[in-house]
Amino acid sequence: PWAALGKASILGETDGMVKIVADEKYGELLGVHIIGPHATDLIAEACVALQCEATVEELFRTVHAHPTLPEGLMEAAHGVFEQPIHLPPQRSKRRAK
């Protein structure tokens, strides 16, 4: 959720989320949902990742500056592997290698 992002807290805009849809077997990104303030500023990174047929792990390992809203994409990728940076882990089937 947006509330976990330091930049969202700084801006006072904490309502929102990023959701990743990926192939379960290979981890290829199939889609990204971005809902919240400044979502239009974030969609370009997701579009490039989709165009390049990136995997969740590649997004997971991409460096994101802090504090920024694009950390939401990184946080969502970390969540797929049960390794969120700013949230307690949730149950999932995939793990980073």
Given the residues 33, 38, 64, 66, the one annotated as active site: 66
66: annotated active-site residue: yes
d(CA 13, CA 38): 9
> E-strand spans in the chain?
17-22, 29-35
CB 63 within 8 A of CB 50: no
Q: List, by residue number, the catalytic residues.
A: 66
